[in-house]
Amino acid sequence: MSYSDRMQRNHLVSIYLAPRGYPRMADQGEQIGQLYLSPFDLLIGVIGDAGSGKSMLIKGMFPGLELTNDDEGLNVRPLPLMTIEEDAFYSAHTYHIDMQFESAFYQMHDIVEAILKALSLKKRVVVEHFDMLYPALGRNADLLLGIGEEIIITRPTEFGPEPEEVKRVVYKSIVYRKMAHSAEELLTIALEKQGYSAFRHSEVRHGFLILFDEKPDLDIEKLRADVQTMIDQKLPIAYKNDNHISVGEWIRACQGPRMHVNNTGDIKDFLIYPQLTQDPFTKSWMLLTLVGVESIEDIRVVNTLFTDLDGSKGKS
């Protein structure tokens, strides 16, 4: 048994904060592939709502894998998975299928038969919307990933977790990721009004951080009021292309344009921590913003408020 296999043998679950931009999601996928993927993992299950970043995560985990379809449309037809021959030595090793898409073209029993045949030939199959396949397939994934506000990575056993459990968690939490991303865009607009454009972005649970190399002279209450005004105006937010969104009349550059609420009024309980804090390791100055949280008195509990995998949150 290799070192990698021994390392994974007792792995139960790992959780990462899901990044909101395409490049960061691809980088996260590459890291997950290096840390958690075994050469002997043949069935990879991915669960997440539309626009959560499943395709980009898969591209990061499996560089060079041609997805049969993604947000831009159809890539490959006929579906390669359905045409594997018994003498498949020279065929591809890894296949992709989006169950939500392909179920409109194939019967479930035909998809199951094709996947089982691929697995018997030691081919790897990456299945988006794995929760749709699982009841008919009758076996769990070797490696199961869920994408909501968090990325859940688990190696299921006969004791679970079941795909439906992972789905319940990530479908419940993704609303916070969408609200945070849209609020982040509004705060960026408000910061630009105060003359600030040089800053970086990072994630926390149910929110985000704006990072400054030098301590800025911000009017934090005005920032909060400006963002809340835009929320109250219920401005439409729409996808323009892979690099831009529209917020009301503004056209804004965005690296994750599908990961937004439809309307600024959908952002609930917007909150800015009333003072800047300094990261003791990087020395960056941090502006903390949360959504879906009524109050926060101690920033040290931000990433522990929402630790339950069922998406429930504790008291602040």
pLDDT at 85: 77
Pairing of strands 94-98, 124-128: parallel
pLDDT at 21: 82
Q: Which amino acid is at 146?
A: G
**Tens digits of pLDDT across the chain (316 residues):** 444 454 566 788 899 999 888 888 999 999 999 999 999 999 999 999 988 999 999 999 999 898 887 665 556 778 889 988 766 667 789 999 999 999 989 999 999 999 999 999 999 999 999 999 999 998 999 999 999 999 999 999 888 899 999 999 999 999 999 999 999 999 999 999 999 989 999 988 899 999 999 999 999 999 999 999 999 999 999 999 989 999 999 999 998 898 999 999 999 999 999 999 999 999 999 999 999 988 877 777 777 644 443 444 443 3
145 in Cβ contact with 152 (< 8 Å):
yes
DSSP string for residues in 2-62: -HHHHHHHT--EEEEEPPSSHHHHHHHHHHHHHHH--TT--EEEEEE-TTSSHHHHHHHHS
pLDDT at 295: 80
Assigned CATH for 175-304:
3.30.980.10
- pTM above threshold 0.75: yes
**What is the chain's length?**
316
The neighbour count for residue 219, using CB atoms within 10 Å, is 11
pLDDT at 9: 67
What's the CATH class of domain 3-161?
alpha beta
The neighbour count for residue 43, using CB atoms within 10 Å, is 22
Q: Is the dihedral of CA 18, 23, 27, 30 positive or negative?
A: positive
pLDDT at 306: 45
Domain ranges of the chain: 3-161, 175-304
Helices 163-193 and 130-137, axial angle in degrees (round to 10): 180
Q: Where are the beta strands (DSSP E) in the chain?
A: 13-17, 43-48, 69-70, 73-74, 94-98, 124-128, 143-147, 150-154, 200-204, 207-212, 237-241, 244-247, 250-253, 271-272, 277-278, 285-290
pLDDT at 157: 87
pLDDT at 87: 66
pLDDT at 311: 41
243 in Cβ contact with 231 (< 8 Å):
no
Task: Provide the token pair at 260.
Answer: 């937004």
Rounded Cα gap, residues 315 and 208, in angstroms: 19
